[in-house]
Amino acid sequence: MITGKNYIGNQLSATGNKTFKTFNPLLNIENQWHITEASNSEVNQAADLASEAFKTYSKISGVKKAEFLREIATQIEALGDELLQVYSSESGLPNGRAMGERGRTLGQLRAFANHLEAGNWVEASIDTAQPNRQPIPKVDLRKMNVALGPVVVFGASNFPLAFSTAGGDTAAALAAGCPVIVKSHPMHAATGEMVASAIIKAAKKIGLPNGVFSNLNSSGIEVGQQLVMHPKVKAVGFTGSIRGGRALYDLAAKRKEPIPVFAEMGSINPVIMLPKALNNRAEAIAKTCSGSITLGTGQFCTNPGLIIGVKSQGLTLFVNTLAKEIVKIEPSCMLHPNIAGAYETNKAKALSQNGLKVLAGYENDVEPNYARQVVTTVEGDTFLNNPTLHHEVFGPFSLVVQCEDEQQLEEIISNLEGQLTGTIISDDNEISEYQNIVNALQNRVGRIIFNGVPTGVEVCPSMQHGGPYPASTDSRFTAVGVDSIKRFVRPFSFQDWPNNLLPDELKNQNPLGITRLVNNVKTTAKI
């Protein structure tokens, strides 16, 4: 069933001569499949097909696109247990996680289908003509969101389903009316091919143009670069490292026609612990943190890599409890030897910084590719003066910063780079005394959490997943939830356009019954 080939539109294709294999980190062996890297000409073919498909796909109805997304979900379900097995063999993630992530993926596809059926995502706006207005007549203007063009999606290493082949970016782009070319993640190319086959089946069943979806394999960076530079590509979605995301952003910005790159990148997700909370429940907080740090072997972009408090008895108790709790947790497998290797390297680099102390770490021997969690601590001024300590260590690593006072706490927050999330641990009324700290944190993050953990990203309309750089390349958009469609659309105005030639969304009769802004009033009424 797994061929190792690329999907160039509906066609399986392997004209290139470079192959690679994926890796099973649990068994510490290569997987069996020979994956063929996409060739230059295959990349061009995929882009040409996508550009051609855009002409019709961008114009089909929301209801038809919804059918497509639902059919993709159905076809993914039809892949059955084999998908879960391949997923685990390429990620080391357990079956429960595989099932959960598949559920999330299907949920996302169906949420976009609902969103399309409701139809309001086009943000239709109509200003009717006033032919007798003085001194000049007012024209009729009607605006709605339209698709941007072919989108390239780079899947995430840590979400082989939910943020990869048919994940959030793909679902958002397809919902918008943009054909998608996935640059498959090399760590889970076989999982990617299975999901790609489901998308292609769905596209054929719904009768969509060839090229609405392609899936390209690559173990290096060339295919991705070629895609981002291709003149027919109009936007990019990416989930991964700051280095990778920034490289693509820079490449896209240098094009003759620059294109938007939405890259969701690293984050250390600061957790701020206020004094009364620490005083009253340091041990409970430490237990919660310990679980969040090690969840999914720390391989989440919302992993709490930084915990900050002001020195107190409570903070000391927190630190001691965290040290005790963290070692109780059984280490687990990382996604790939490269990621396990990078964890060791980055951890070692952090541990070698002056003033950084290890609080506790798992020290027993572990299987290959397993990550041994570690929690560390540092003084506030040491942290402030060493930018290396502000960088993400992707994995089950966390740093507790012990501040001298509230002022230093605020200074530290203000000096943080942009983050996906920030968390405040507070007793009920305590937080109102720390408005400066809350404000400083708000300016650095995309989502702020009260008495919770940053891990666990709910897929719902009110989720913002994207923060000031380098959390993402454009904080004005989200990577999670139906509003992520906004990354791939642009507003378009029709002036004095004949009613019968307007898209249904803008016709006088409002045949779709959507909510529109008509002469500045929201309404579902006809005109």
User: In one letter, which amino acid is 93?
Assistant: L
User: Could you tell me the two tokens for 136?
Assistant: 């000049």
| From candidates 97, 281, 391, 490, binder to a copy of itself by CB under 8 A | 490
Residues 46-105 that bind a copy of itself (CB under 8 A): 55, 59
Per CB under 8 A, 126 contacts a copy of itself: yes
| From candidates 11, 320, 475, 508, binder to a copy of itself by CB under 8 A | 475
Dist. CA 23–CA 44, nearest whole Å: 29
Per CB under 8 A, 449 contacts a copy of itself: yes
Q: Would you say 17 or 432 has its CB closer to a copy of itself? A: 432
Residues 260-279 that bind a copy of itself (CB under 8 A): 260
Cβ atoms of 421 and 449 closer than 8 Å: yes
Residues 406-445 that bind a copy of itself (CB under 8 A): 417-418, 428, 431-432, 438-439, 442-443
Per CB under 8 A, 468 contacts a copy of itself: yes
* Stretch touching a copy of itself by CB under 8 A, among 85-93, 165-173, 353-361, 498-506: 498-506
Per CB under 8 A, 253 contacts a copy of itself: yes
Dist. CA 190–CA 5, nearest whole Å: 9
Dist. CA 332–CA 96, nearest whole Å: 14
Closest approach of Cβ 32 to a copy of itself, in Å?
33
Dist. CA 20–CA 22, nearest whole Å: 7
* Stretch touching a copy of itself by CB under 8 A, among 8-16, 65-73, 251-259, 274-282: 251-259
CA distances from 15 to 38, 217, 230, 261, 502 (A): 7, 12, 20, 29, 43
- Percent helix, strand and coil across the chain, each to the nearest 5: 45, 20, 40
Dist. CA 479–CA 488, nearest whole Å: 11
Per CB under 8 A, 142 contacts a copy of itself: yes
| From candidates 40, 85, 407, 493, binder to a copy of itself by CB under 8 A | 493
The single-letter DSSP state of residue 138 is B
Write 514-523 long-range contacts (CB < 8 A, 24+): 514/118, 514/119, 514/120, 514/122, 514/124, 515/120, 515/124, 516/124, 516/125, 516/126, 517/123, 517/124, 517/125, 517/126, 518/126, 518/128, 519/126, 519/127, 519/128, 520/127
Is 301 labeled as catalytic in the residue annotation? Answer: yes
- Which residues lie below 8 Å from residue 351, measured CB to CB, with a gap of 6+? 358, 374, 376
Closest approach of Cβ 462 to a copy of itself, in Å?
4
- Which residues lie below 8 Å from residue 231, measured CB to CB, with a gap of 6+? 255, 256, 257
Q: How many CA atoms lie within 13 A of 46 on its CB side?
A: 34
| From candidates 368, 491, 511, 513, binder to a copy of itself by CB under 8 A | 491
Size of the site for a copy of itself (CB under 8 A): 73
Q: Would you say 47 or 148 has its CB closer to a copy of itself? A: 148
Q: Would you say 41 or 442 has its CB closer to a copy of itself? A: 442
Q: Would you say 190 or 463 has its CB closer to a copy of itself? A: 463
User: Could you tell me the two tokens for 316?
Assistant: 């000391």
Closest approach of Cβ 469 to a copy of itself, in Å?
5
Closest approach of Cβ 324 to a copy of itself, in Å?
26
| From candidates 8, 47, 146, 286, binder to a copy of itself by CB under 8 A | 146
From the candidates 301, 325, 392, 417, give the one annotated as an active-site residue: 301
Per CB under 8 A, 479 contacts a copy of itself: no
Residues 307-366 that bind a copy of itself (CB under 8 A): none
Cβ atoms of 318 and 279 closer than 8 Å: no
From the candidates 52, 90, 264, 392, give the one annotated as an active-site residue: 264
Active-site annotation, residues:
264, 301
